[in-house]
């Protein structure tokens, strides 16, 4: 009985040893058919690159390794005999790719010369056209109000304001003429005319209505002709250009010369044909709707004189007063 037990035990040990030896042989054979790829990712200064993405291409499914702080990577159990390529990328650095690699069974292949340069930074500069710049500046001007109430659109505080297109000149004029404060100003001016009994219409509601219509007609013709139509024809800028610097004398001369001289669309100083003709034409048109006793050449002359005097006063208060009280002026 004892001999039988020994025989069985010996047989069991033999089978177990054979099975273990077979597994070892198979593992050895399997290992001999694969290889290992290792390397370290560096930048051009020789410093290691952490968090780099290392991709082993050429396999049925690419393998990815993210490097730790020491930049080291390792791909084990890589199938031998297959053409492979190692690709490396990292944030803000240029990508790198190896030549084709064919591994031998059991080989440990070290990838050398991985050096990532700084990525080229492409800066796109989009230069706005003068028309686009002028449009943005006019948008800002349309928010300029004295004490946040009275429109102050026809003044620019830009040192190098872009020239206005004809469309923007008309846009500013229409914006000013349709503003509720402007309309209220016309109504108040008609009331003053009513009190002064000028022009020579009758009194009462009918007379005020006629004076109100005359005020609107005069105001609209002056602004439309002098600040939009003629500036477009003569290529002149209808705005007041705030100087703000220099001696008081130079600023006074700049403000008082506004009715006679203006800036052309080309930036040159020239005679202000636009406003001068606008005043004269507005006065001439008034002869069509003023009472007969108020018509004549004197009406045209008065219109021009009032226009010149008004623009002188406008320039003075713009230069020395209103810029302090104008919202969104940038000053």
Residue-wise pLDDT tens digits, 283-312: 999 999 999 998 999 999 998 899 999 999
**How far, in Å, CA of 44 to CA of 92, rounded?**
13
Q: Which two tokens stand for residue 114?
A: 């991985």
**How far, in Å, CA of 78 to CA of 63, rounded?**
10
Q: Report, as an integer, the average pLDDT of 102-112.
A: 89
- Residue 112: pLDDT band (50, 70, 90) is confident
- Give the pLDDT of residue 126: 61
- Residue 330: pLDDT band (50, 70, 90) is low
Q: Report, as an integer, the average pLDDT of 64-80.
A: 91
Asked: is 24-116 a CATH 3.40.50.2300 domain? The reply is: no
Q: Report, as an integer, the average pLDDT of 43-55.
A: 91
Q: Report, as an integer, the average pLDDT of 9-28.
A: 38
Q: What phi and psi values does residue 296 have, to the nearest 5 degrees?
A: 125, -175
- Give the pLDDT of residue 10: 36
| Average pLDDT taken over every residue of the chain | 86
130-139 pLDDT tens trace: 899 999 999 9
**How far, in Å, CA of 10 to CA of 164, rounded?**
108
Residue 82 has pLDDT above 90, yes or no: no
Task: Name the more confident of 127 and 311.
Answer: 311
CA distance from start to end of the chain: 116
- Residue 23: pLDDT band (50, 70, 90) is very low
- Give the pLDDT of residue 32: 54
| CB distance 287 to 299 below 8 Å | yes
- Give the pLDDT of residue 106: 86
Contacts made by residues 323-329, CB under 8 angstroms, sequence distance 24+: 323/155, 323/157, 323/242, 323/244, 325/146, 325/147, 326/144, 326/145, 326/146, 326/152, 326/155, 327/143, 327/144, 327/145, 327/146, 327/147, 327/148, 328/140, 328/143, 328/144, 328/145, 329/144, 329/152, 329/157
214-270 pLDDT tens trace: 999 999 999 999 999 999 999 999 999 999 999 999 999 999 999 999 999 999 999
| CB distance 319 to 243 below 8 Å | yes
Domain boundaries defined on the chain: 24-116, 130-327
């Amino acid at each position: 009985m004892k001999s039988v037990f020994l025989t069985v035990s010996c047989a069991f040990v033999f089978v177990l040893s054979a099975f273990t030896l077979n597994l070892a042989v198979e593992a050895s054979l399997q290992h001999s058919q694969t290889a290992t790829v290792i390397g370290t990712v560096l930048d051009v200064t020789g410093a290691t690159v952490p968090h780099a993405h290392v991709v082993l291409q050429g396999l049925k499914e690419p393998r990815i390794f993210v490097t730790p702080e020491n930049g080291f990577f390792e791909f084990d159990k890589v199938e031998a005999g297959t053409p492979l390529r190692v690709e490396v990328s990292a944030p803000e650095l240029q990508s790198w790719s190896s030549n084709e690699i064919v591994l031998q069974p059991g080989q440990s292949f070290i990838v050398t010369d991985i050096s990532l340069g700084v990525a080229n930074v492409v800066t796109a500069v989009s230069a706005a056209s003068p028309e686009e710049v002028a449009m943005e500046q006019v948008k800002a001007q349309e928010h300029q109000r004295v004490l946040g109430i009275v429109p102050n659109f026809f003044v620019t505080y830009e040192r190098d304001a872009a020239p206005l297109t004809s469309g923007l000149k008309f846009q500013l004029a229409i914006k000013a003429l349709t503003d509720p404060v402007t309309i209220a100003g016309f109504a108040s001016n008609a009331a003053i005319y009513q009190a002064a009994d000028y022009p020579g219409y009758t009194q009462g509601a009918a007379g005020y209505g006629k004076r109100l219509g005359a005020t609107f007609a005069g105001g609209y013709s002056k602004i439309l002709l002098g600040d939009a139509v003629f500036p477009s024809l003569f290529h002149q800028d209808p705005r007041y250009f705030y100087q703000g610097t220099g001696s008081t004398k130079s600023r006074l001369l700049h403000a008082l010369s506004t009715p006679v001289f203006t800036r052309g669309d080309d930036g040159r100083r020239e005679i202000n044909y636009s406003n001068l003709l606008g005043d004269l034409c507005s006065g001439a048109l008034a002869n069509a709707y003023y009472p007969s006793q108020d018509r004549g050449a004197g009406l045209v002359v008065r219109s021009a004189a009032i226009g010149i005097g008004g623009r002188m006063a406008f320039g003075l208060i713009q230069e020395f007063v209103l810029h302090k009280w104008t919202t969104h002026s940038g000053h």
